[in-house]
Amino acid sequence: MIALIQRVTQARVEVNGETIGQIGKGLLVLLGVEKEDDRAKADKLAEKVLNYRIFSDENDKMNLNVQQAGGALLVVSQFTLAADTQKGLRPSFSKGADPALANELYEYFSQKCAEKIPVENGCFAADMQVSLTNDGPVTFWLRV
């Protein structure tokens, strides 16, 4: 399971011109699910995302997590994160989970995080437009 997290001052996801998820300060989480992923991996990744210390403390050091910083999450399903890009000029998606598993784990991950902080979501398998203001810029690729 993969999360590309970006520290943001704001982020929004639209489908057909309508905003379906929006946050202010927090993390945009682009979530990729691979074939071998399960709820245990989703639990580990949720714990890591919620506790990853990438927000500034009073000394301007990256020492606070999104919970301590009073932030929220915008979680967007991103199957392209599971792409194999090692060979050729076209990505292979053979490592990606089938849509049913990917959707189940996407929803599960979001629910686990929502137990701790506010969470907004994209729309699984929709054509989405995501806009954000990356704060820093600060971006990390997390994998469990």
- Domain residue spans of the chain: 2-143
In the set 9, 80, 133, 139, the catalytic residue is: 80
Q: Considering the domain 2-143 in this protein, what is its CATH number? A: 3.50.80.10
pTM: 0.96
The string of pLDDT tens digits covering residues 7-51 is 999 999 999 999 999 999 999 999 999 999 999 999 999 999 999
pLDDT value, residue 122 = 97
pLDDT at 90: 94
139 is catalytic: no
- Residues 72-102 have pLDDT tens digits of 999 999 999 999 999 999 999 999 999 999 9
91 preceded by cis ω (within 30°)?
no
Start-end of H helices in 73-142 = 99-114
Q: Give the model confidence (pLDDT) of 49-70 as tens digits.
A: 999 999 999 999 999 999 999 9
